[in-house]
Chains A and B, each alone.
Chain A
Amino acid sequence: MTLPSCQRSRFGRSLILLLVVGLVLLVPLRSEAYAGPGAGFAVLSSFWTIFVAFLYSFYALVTWPLRQLLRIFRRRKAYGKAQVKRVVIVGFDGMDPELASRFMSEGKLPNLSKLRDSGTFRPLRTTFPAISPVAWSTFQTGVNPGKHNIYDFLARDLKNYLPFLSSAQISEPKRHLRIGKYSLPLGKSGVKGLRKGTPFWHWLGKAGVFCSVIRVPVTFPPEKFPGVLLSGMCVPDLKGSQGTFCFCTTRASSDKFREGGVRIPMERNGAGLHSYIPGPENPLGTGVDLRAEFRLRPDVGRGRARIEIDSETFTVKVGEYSEWIPVKFKAGMGFTARGICRFYLKEISPEVEVYVTPVNIDPAHPDLPISHPVTYSIYLAKLFGPYATLGLAEDTWALNEEVLDDQAFLAQCYGNHQDREHMFFDALEKTPQGLCACVFDTTDRVQHMFWRYLDKDHPAVRDVPQDQKPRVIQDLYDRMDTLIGRVMQQINTETLLLVISDHGFKSFNRCMNLNAWLHQNGYLVLKDGKSESGDWFEDVDWSRTRAYTMGLNGLYINVRGREREGIVEAGAEAEALKEELRGKLDGLVDPASGKVGISGMFDCDAVYAGPYVDNAPDLIVGYGEGFRASWDSVMGRVTTEIFEDNLKAWSGDHCVDPRLVPGVLFSNRKIAIEKPAIVDVAPTVMKLFGLELPSYFDGKPWAVAAAGGK
Chain B
Amino acid sequence: MIASSNPSNLPLFLVLTISMVIGLLMVIVFRYTSDQKAIGRAKDRLKAHLLAVRLFQDQLPVVMRAYGKILRGTGSYLRLAFTPFLIAILPITFLIVQLDRYFGWVPLQPAQTFLVEARIEDPTALNDASLQLPPELSSSAPAVHIPTDREVVWRLVADRAGQFDIQIAAAGQTVSKQVMVAPGLARVSPLRLKGNFWERIFASGEPALADNSPVQSIEISYPPRVIGFAGMDWNWIVLFFLVSLIAGFIFKSALGIQV
Contacts and interface: CB of A to CB of B under 8 A. Distances in A.
B259 interface: yes
A311 B240 contact: no
Given A27-B198, A49-B74, A383-B45, A38 B81 contact: yes
A375 B56 CA distance: 12
Interface in B89-122: 89-90, 92-93, 96-97, 100
Contacts, number: 168
Contact of B26 (A27, A31, A38): A38
Given A373-B55, A376-B55, A38 B237 contact: no
Given A39-B89, A57-B63, A27 B202 contact: yes
Interface in B44-61: 44-61
Interface string A432-469: 11000000000000000000000000000000000000
B51 A379 contact: yes
Contacts of B22: 36-37
Nearest to A44: B245
Instruction: Say what secondary structure dominates the interface of chain A.
Output: helix
Contacts of B48: 379-380, 382-383
Given A31-B237, A210-B59, A382-B44, A36 B77 contact: no
A45 B60 CA distance: 25
A60 interface: yes
A430 B56 contact: yes
Contacts of A49: 46, 50, 70, 73-74, 77
Interface string A379-407: 11111010000000000000000000000
B152 interface: no
A621 interface: no
Contacts of A37: 22-23, 26-27, 30, 244-245, 247-249, 252, 259
B256 interface: yes
B85 interface: yes
Interface string B51-88: 11111111111111011001101100110010011101
Given A17-B86, A53-B67, A382-B47, A35 B92 contact: yes
B100 A50 contact: no
B55 A31 contact: no
A383 B70 CA distance: 12
B45 A382 contact: yes
Contacts of B143: none
B172 to A, nearest CB: 34
Nearest to A40: B245
A15 to B, nearest CB: 14
A56 B30 contact: no
Contact of B241 (A34, A46, A53, A376): A34
A540 B258 CA distance: 59
A41 B74 contact: no
Interface string A51-80: 011001101110010010001000000000
B58 A71 contact: yes
Interface residues of A, number: 52
A32 interface: yes
Nearest to B22: A36
Nearest to A21: B86
Nearest to A50: B74
Contacts of A60: 53, 57, 60, 63
Nearest to A226: B58
Contacts of A67: 57-58
B10 interface: no
A20 B52 contact: no
Nearest to A375: B51
A629 B23 CA distance: 65
Given A29-B202, A36-B26, A379-B52, A46 B259 contact: no
B248 A31 contact: no
A333 interface: no
Interface string A6-38: 000000000001001100100101111111111
Nearest to B89: A35
B100 A42 contact: no
A223 B77 CA distance: 36
A618 to B, nearest CB: 45
B51 A31 contact: no
Contact of A32 (B50, B60, B93): B93
Contacts of B245: 37, 40-41, 44
A45 B77 CA distance: 10
A39 to B, nearest CB: 4
A56 B50 contact: yes
Contacts of A100: none
Contacts of A57: 53, 63-64, 67
Most buried by B among A64, A373, A379, A380: A379
A635 interface: no
A210 B58 contact: yes
B45 A32 contact: no
A368 interface: no
A209 to B, nearest CB: 11
A40 B44 CA distance: 19
Most buried by B among A40, A59, A64, A210: A40
A38 B61 contact: no
Given A34-B241, A60-B57, 19 more contacts: A31-B97, A31-B237, A34-B96, A39-B88, A40-B241, A40-B244, A41-B259, A42-B85, A45-B77, A46-B78, A56-B63, A57-B53, A61-B60, A210-B56, A210-B59, A382-B44, A382-B45, A385-B44, A430-B52
28 contacts: A20-B89, A32-B93, A34-B237, A35-B93, A36-B89, A36-B248, A37-B26, A37-B245, A41-B252, A42-B77, A42-B78, A46-B74, A46-B77, A46-B78, A49-B50, A50-B71, A53-B67, A53-B70, A53-B71, A60-B63, A64-B60, A375-B54, A379-B48, A382-B44, A382-B51, A383-B44, A385-B41, A430-B55
